[in-house]
Structure 1
Amino acid sequence: MGKHIFQGLKALGFCNAGVGTLVLRILATHGATVVRVESESSPDVARTLAPFKDNVPGLNRSYYYNFQNSDKYSLALNMKHPRKDEVTKRLVEWADVLVENFTPGVMAKWNLSYEEVKKINPSIIMISLSMQGQTGPARLQGGYGGLLQSLAGYPLITGWPDGLPNLIDRSYPDFIAPRFGATAVIAALLHRRRTGQGQYIDVSQYEDVIQFEIPVILDWAVNRRLQTRLGNKFPLAAPHGTYRCKGDDRWCAIAVFSDSEWESLCRVMGNPEWTTQPEYASHSARKQNEDELNELVEAWTANHTAEEVMSLMQQAGVKAGVVQTIEDVVEHDPQLKHRQFFWKTEHPECGDILHSRPNYILSKTPSELRMPPPLLGEHTEYVCRELLQMSEDEFTDLLLDDVLT
């Protein structure tokens, strides 16, 4: 394997839950040496979240934590201890990049604001990924992904017209912000390569999430129209939805945007007599009679497997796709298997741990899974003695004084 793109880069993380951790993972899978500072008295909330191996809770048994924390060293440090600065200062001196995602003010309380950090290491790049940024009236608001979705208006456009607003899931923004954050870190690294200067990156997860509803925002800006919940319907297509197929809870999504696609759909279904009725002769007519149309299409799909429906439709030029279960995605999807999307590592407590590789492949500097996710504090001695070059006496003293745990 060729040289990793971030080989030689040193990254330090003060993180909780997903956002900062996933920025670190992007760096780690491309070769960076990553150290996470953790706490036994106040562990990362991700370590406490299900699913757990064999449904037995434990700080090292959470798949929620383990899935996103490969290729990182874990150092256990008591951040309430008055001597903690002896360790954090050495870590900051060592690091090229510092990643944190706490509520504004937490890092300053630990003497780790950017103003303090750059005094120790002027060339360091520090990135903060807070809920709503480091400035403004709502900067101190804490929370989680569901709150950010609500602020951005996602629930009002997610769900059925006659139902309640719906969250996409509990942590949707956690998987958006890291992409923006990692991109910003790369830009700062390029700037430092040219100038030798570090800098501070202020990421608002709220602003990141808004980027993914730009069409809705434009509709309001141009037409003063507030989009609402449409279920599976889409203004430019009919039929457009998921249709029950043969088998237990098997479905296929179908989307017809043009008259030519409609004609192809009709041919696949055997040109039943109802397809010639005026109610379905044009796109506008199909939209007006969409509920009845969906029932008629489903009457046909129910007699075929989802895979058969997808294959027949795609061969005819109609957009269609099986609604896969998670088992299908992980165990059976031939495309993901071919591209080796899922990786596994051997974890000391959980055995095989499933991971996903980055959703892109660099031909010259591919990513690599090198280390399983760490036990809490597993690498405290290694980080202190090998990476920070502490003497044995220094390390032992900090350990006996419960600074390191």
Structure 2
Amino acid sequence: PFKDGVFGTNRSQFFGGYNTSKLSLALALRNPEALSIAKRLIEWADVVLESFTPGTIGAMGLGWDVVHELNPKAIMVSSCLMGQTGPAAPLAGYGNHAAAISGFYEITGWPDRDPGGPFAAYTDTVAPHFLASTLMAALDHRRRTGEGQYIEQAQMESAVYFLGTELLDYQVSGRIPRRAGNEEPGCAPHDAFPCAGEDEWCAIAVETDEQWRALCEVMGSPAWAKDPALQNAEGRYAAREMLFERLAEWTGGYDPHELMAKLQSAGVPSGAVQRSSDLLQDPQLAHRRFFRPLPHCEMGEVPYEGHMFRIRGYDNGPRFAAPGLGEHSVQVLQEVLGLSDEEAGEVLASGAIA
């Protein structure tokens, strides 16, 4: 999404959300002076991370052999869709493509519709969590031995981890998983139900007989819900389409948050379906100070996601807004690499800064 719907290189909050507390140096790496600056950064760095198509960084003259020679203690990470080797290695693309190849699109959505796929560039968002722990292990290894490491990650391999249940089911039973909407085998009602207002919904997931009885009580124990066939999970699952229609008639008279509170207080798993704009007003997230408003160089003050955890005695979170492209180029040249005003000026004059 672009701030105020205005397109611009520095106006994407998708980029912004993942790049807080970072400095931006923009190098035109076809320029020899820019390549020299990149090598000086490698000599300074603890970690060198790249996510080009395999072979690209090496063709630039910044592959692992060069990195290791410049800085034997550096840890280099190469992350791409399919890995650095193998027949699919040259595939260039985005996390959406790797998610499709991994199998997520085939099982996400409804059986009578085209594949829906998970939200956003899925493998781009899940793969770094594996990489973070691997990187910490490499840093610990360096602390103990003084040795650098080369780590290469295939986003596809990291993402397939989250299909473990489906893979095991296929290996054991031969069943091929398909799109099933909001269904959960053996559970009903288990869906998002329409509420009062335009495109307002509340998710309800009944997994036990006790939860079913609690739901019936909240609904006022309607006659149709007393059907003996609905008193066990097998019967409710068989009647899931009828249950959806009956519940939709009832939920349609409620505000989703009102309904959520009513059901949760009775022990029925439920949740209002919220948009991104709703999250900015969510009282729980506000209490936790999850969103942090920070001033951006072009967009002004915008909210950034905080950390997904709290540390006692430490106000952790993003320190400053995501950078504009090349916003800190001069700062990095002088404060990180120690260039003088004259030297930094020569770099700028050479066209090395994009």
TM above 0.5: yes
Q: Does 1:109 align with 2:59?
A: yes
Task: Name which of structure 1's ranges 304-313 and 343-352 shifts more when overlaid on structure 2.
Answer: 304-313
1:182 corresponds to: 132
Residues 271-309 of structure 1: CA deviation (Å, up to 9, x unaligned)? 111112244232211111110111111211122222232
2:169 corresponds to: 219
Gap change, CA 1:366 and 1:102, over 3 Å in 2: farther
1:55 corresponds to: 5
Residue 370 (structure 1) aligned to one of 313, 319, 322: 319
Gap change, CA 1:340 and 1:220, over 3 Å in 2: same
Residues 111-153 of structure 1: CA deviation (Å, up to 9, x unaligned)? 1111110100000011111111112111111111221111111
- Counterpart AA for 1:160: W
Aligned counterparts of 2:149 and 2:136: Cα–Cα separation in 1: 12
Residue 195 (structure 1) aligned to one of 138, 145, 165: 145
Q: Does 1:262 align with 2:212?
A: yes
1:150 corresponds to: 100
Does the Cα contact within 8 Å between 2:64 and 2:76 map onto a contact in 1? Answer: yes
Q: Does 1:349 align with 2:298?
A: yes
- Counterpart AA for 1:96: D
Does the Cα contact within 8 Å between 1:67 and 1:353 map onto a contact in 2? Answer: no
Alignment of 1:2-401 (within 5 A): 51-330=1-280, 332-363=281-312, 366-401=315-350
Deviation at 1:358, TM superposition (A): 1.9
Aligned counterparts of 1:350 and 1:215: Cα–Cα separation in 2: 43
Task: Name which of structure 1's ranges 317-326 and 77-86 shifts more when overlaid on structure 2.
Answer: 77-86
Number of matched pairs: 354
Question: What TM-score do the two structures reach when normalised by structure 2?
Answer: 0.95
Aligned counterparts of 2:275 and 2:42: Cα–Cα separation in 1: 44
Deviation at 1:380, TM superposition (A): 1.5
Aligned counterparts of 1:324 and 1:404: Cα–Cα separation in 2: 42
SS in structure 2 of the partner of residue 212 of structure 1? helix
Aligned counterparts of 2:275 and 2:327: Cα–Cα separation in 1: 35
Post-superposition, which runs of at least 4 consecutive aligned residues in structure 1 deviate over 4 A? none
- Counterpart AA for 1:117: V
| Unpaired stretches in structure 1, ≥5 consecutive residues | 1-50
Aligned counterparts of 2:253 and 2:178: Cα–Cα separation in 1: 33
Does the Cα contact within 8 Å between 2:307 and 2:318 map onto a contact in 1? Answer: no
Aligned counterparts of 2:113 and 2:8: Cα–Cα separation in 1: 38
Does the Cα contact within 8 Å between 2:294 and 2:303 map onto a contact in 1? Answer: yes
Gap change, CA 1:307 and 1:371, over 3 Å in 2: closer
Residues 185-215 of structure 1: CA deviation (Å, up to 9, x unaligned)? 1111111111111101111110111111111
SS in structure 1 of the partner of residue 186 of structure 2? coil
Residues 10-38 of structure 1: CA deviation (Å, up to 9, x unaligned)? xxxxxxxxxxxxxxxxxxxxxxxxxxxxx
SS in structure 1 of the partner of residue 11 of structure 2? coil
1:36 corresponds to: none
- Counterpart AA for 1:339: R
Deviation at 1:240, TM superposition (A): 0.6
- Counterpart AA for 1:268: V
Aligned counterparts of 2:51 and 2:314: Cα–Cα separation in 1: 28
Does the Cα contact within 8 Å between 2:186 and 2:234 map onto a contact in 1? Answer: no
- Counterpart AA for 1:388: L
Deviation at 1:364, TM superposition (A): 5.5
Aligned counterparts of 1:242 and 1:61: Cα–Cα separation in 2: 33
Deviation at 1:98, TM superposition (A): 0.8
Does the Cα contact within 8 Å between 1:240 and 1:253 map onto a contact in 2? Answer: yes
Aligned counterparts of 1:228 and 1:66: Cα–Cα separation in 2: 35
Question: What TM-score do the two structures reach when normalised by structure 1?
Answer: 0.83
Aligned counterparts of 2:349 and 2:279: Cα–Cα separation in 1: 48
Aligned counterparts of 1:301 and 1:59: Cα–Cα separation in 2: 43
SS in structure 2 of the partner of residue 57 of structure 1? coil
Aligned counterparts of 1:224 and 1:124: Cα–Cα separation in 2: 46
- Superposition RMSD in Å: 1.6
Deviation at 1:169, TM superposition (A): 3.0
